[in-house]
Amino acid sequence: MIYFDNAATSKPYVEAVEAFVDVNKNNFGNPISNHGYGRKAERILEKSRESMLNLLSLSSSFNLLFTSGASESNNIAIKGIAKKYKNRGNKIISSIAEHSSVINTLEKLKEEGFEVIYLPINALGYVDPKDLEKAIDDKTILVSIMSSNNEIGSISPLDEYSKIIKKYPKCFFHSDITQSLGKIKMDYGCCDLLSFSSHKFGGVKGTGGLVFKKNISFEPIENGGEQEYGFRPGTVNVAGIKAMEVALKKSLSNLDDNLSKISKLNLLLRGFLENNPQFAVNSPLNSNPYIFSFSTLKKKASVVVEALSNKEIYVSSVSACNSKKEPFSYVVYALTNDKEISANTIRVSFSPESSEEEVNEFVNALKQIIVEVKDR
């Protein structure tokens, strides 16, 4: 098979699976149990926390809260901050192209009386810093803008947003870095809070994190035990967290080599699609090369995706979290303002294991399918 749906989830690294099995076999204790075996698990957990913060060069002023993944991290960051700091103001700024776990969380807060502003994206697929500068004011308590977009791969200039937000000391800056972490170089320290999922960079599913500045507190959105600084109750998934640490270490140590390899694959695919009148390329140039979005101009994208699937070539028509609905990419619509193009998107997403042979095979299969499938 050719698996080009790594933005939905990626194959875990063998080392990560081995670490997961090892902890489950040999250190399955509960890290808050008050006995030696529990404390052994606690030591593994705390070592992973420290090691991950060190890998991100954030150990001096940030904490790391472990979660089940980026959806939960986004919920804790956005709801937790909004409710904790509502006495400072009620305005939150985000973007029109965020992941559903950000947008739907913000929509809930809107129902509770918060003012939510969704900034548009420019032709390069990100929020123009000038728009943020115009929208932010003394009532703004949170700005939440993602790093790499999960549908088109556009990369937001987080450092530029950060300079604007810093002029408002009561406002926190959160970024969903799920599609950037372990893939592209970035300055993690320019934000106050960062959300991510480990299964996008070779960890196992069901683990993720929320990095946050040590001075930040949250209103817990779930109630229970005192785990994870008292902000996230429930027995902690030590094995999954150990696997996440292993995967992060591997991803970051190979980041440069992987990035240059994937950039070449991306350009190869772009070259073919840009020269074929059957397709329109959606991903702006200089986007995160791991994610590439294009649209079919004459055929139904969902039919093409199914035909590819029948050949064991796996891509997605919209992001996995929206794939149960009618396929329509609100992100591509925000970029192109074209309903037909937005209803017929295909997302190819690479992993460090992806190869030139696979891209060539994908292109050949696409050429064949485009001839076989009838026009929409």
Q: Which residues are catalytic?
A: 321
Nearest approach in angstroms of CB 319 to ligand PMP is 6
Bridge partners, 5 (sequence order): 349
| Residue 129 interacts with ligand PMP (CB under 6 A): yes or no | no
- Segment near ligand PMP (CB under 6 A), from 67-75, 238-246, 267-275, 357-365? 67-75
- Segment near ligand PMP (CB under 6 A), from 64-72, 222-230, 260-268, 271-279? 64-72
| Residue 273 interacts with ligand PMP (CB under 6 A): yes or no | no
Q: Report how many residues bind ligand PMP under the rule CB under 6 A.
A: 16
Sketch the per residue contact string, 152 through 171, with ligand PMP: x for CB under 6 A, - otherwise: --------------------
| Residue 125 interacts with ligand PMP (CB under 6 A): yes or no | no
- Segment near ligand PMP (CB under 6 A), from 66-74, 80-88, 158-166, 247-255? 66-74
Nearest approach in angstroms of CB 320 to ligand PMP is 5
Sketch the per residue contact string, 71 through 110, with ligand PMP: x for CB under 6 A, - otherwise: x---------------------------x-x---------
Among 176, 192, 228, 245, binds ligand PMP (CB under 6 A): 176
Closest CA to 112 of 90, 85, 136, 137: 90
| Span 290-319, contacts to ligand PMP by CB under 6 A | 319
| Residue 179 interacts with ligand PMP (CB under 6 A): yes or no | yes
Sketch the per residue contact string, 188 through 207, with ligand PMP: x for CB under 6 A, - otherwise: ---------x----------
Residues in contact with ligand PMP by CB under 6 A are 7, 69-71, 99, 101, 146, 150, 176, 178-179, 197, 208, 319-321
